[in-house]
Amino acid sequence: MTRVGIVAKANAPAAVVAGLLKWLGARGVAVVVEKETGTLVPSATVPVATKAELPGIVDLIVVLGGDGTLLSMAREVGDLGVPLLGINVGGLGFLTATTLEEMFPAVEGALAGRMAVDDRMMLRAHVVRNGAAFGDYIALNDAVITKSAMSRIINLSVSVESQFATAYRADGLIISTPTGSTAYCLSAGGPIVSPGMDALVLIPIASHTLTNRPIVLPGTHRIEVTLDTDQEVMLTLDGQVGVPLREKDVVAVQKAAPRIRLLRFPQKDFFNVLRTKLKWGER
């Protein structure tokens, strides 16, 4: 790795960004800073690039923020395969599990090829309106169809591999990757799924039918959700990109071709993160 990109959340400590720039510069590593991140360190004399441009010109991206910052960067990376190293300067931090105290050893390990690489599947969601493609999106965590704050329960019809599966009367529906199983999926009562699995999880939100339960499907399956309600409904990707839906719109969701590479310390495996972040298994 010869060139490192740095992207930080808007309110990340400027001293942290400046310290990383100084550390990399002292080791002769070329650095490109994301344009908005550059405003945190206006005195820095390094190249800048937009978030969309950054993955195409670096070999590694260090993300200083929380999971939201990493999710937004993952969608920009797409199929370019640039690894992401998340440093947690946010909240819970499932994807950005490396702490600030571990930042320099982690970056050093990444440059030396000593970090473990988690290969994560992504979702592709596209909207079909009146039989024509309306929008195409990717997500690392989830695609969520949900009613607005003032809307009533919505009706959704779900087909799997072109076969009718079920209908939901609920506040919405989450279609999650294994990575997203510890995000909105978990808070809605879904299962924790090992992130290396090739699977999709469907979780109704506040279902009006007691027999509707989360279901785990093969990652190779294509899911089509038809909106059977004429009211305000949104499709959201990773909780960050919103698309208003109309009655009879079809949201088709399947595994995306791109995969995301997340770097971590070898000792910080999935179960370690569950125990640390969720206090999993504690009495």
Catalytic site positions: 67
Instruction: For Cα atoms 56, 68, 64, give the angle at the middle one, nearest 5 degrees.
Output: 65
Exposed/middle/buried for 217, CB within 10 Å: 0-12, 13-18, 19+? middle
Closest to 277 (Cα-Cα) out of 54, 98, 69: 98
Tell me the CB-side half-sphere exposure of residue 123, using CA atoms within 13 A: 33
Integer CA distances (angstroms), 47 to 29, 38, 89, 158, in order: 13, 9, 23, 48
Please answer whether residues 193 and 178 qualify as being in contact, where contact means their C-beta atoms are separated by less than 8 angstroms. yes
Residues in the chain: 283
Q: Which residues, in sequence order, are CB contacts of 189 under 8 Å at separation 6+?
A: 203, 214
Kindly state the helix (H) or strand (E) to which residue 275 belongs, with its residue range: helix 270-278
Structure tokens at 255: 């595994």
How far apart are alpha carbons 103 and 139 in whole angstroms?
A: 26
The partner residues of 119 in beta bridges, in order of sequence, read: 261
Structure tokens at 33: 């800073």
The helix, strand and coil proportions of the chain, stated in percent and rounded to the nearest 5, come to 25, 40, 35
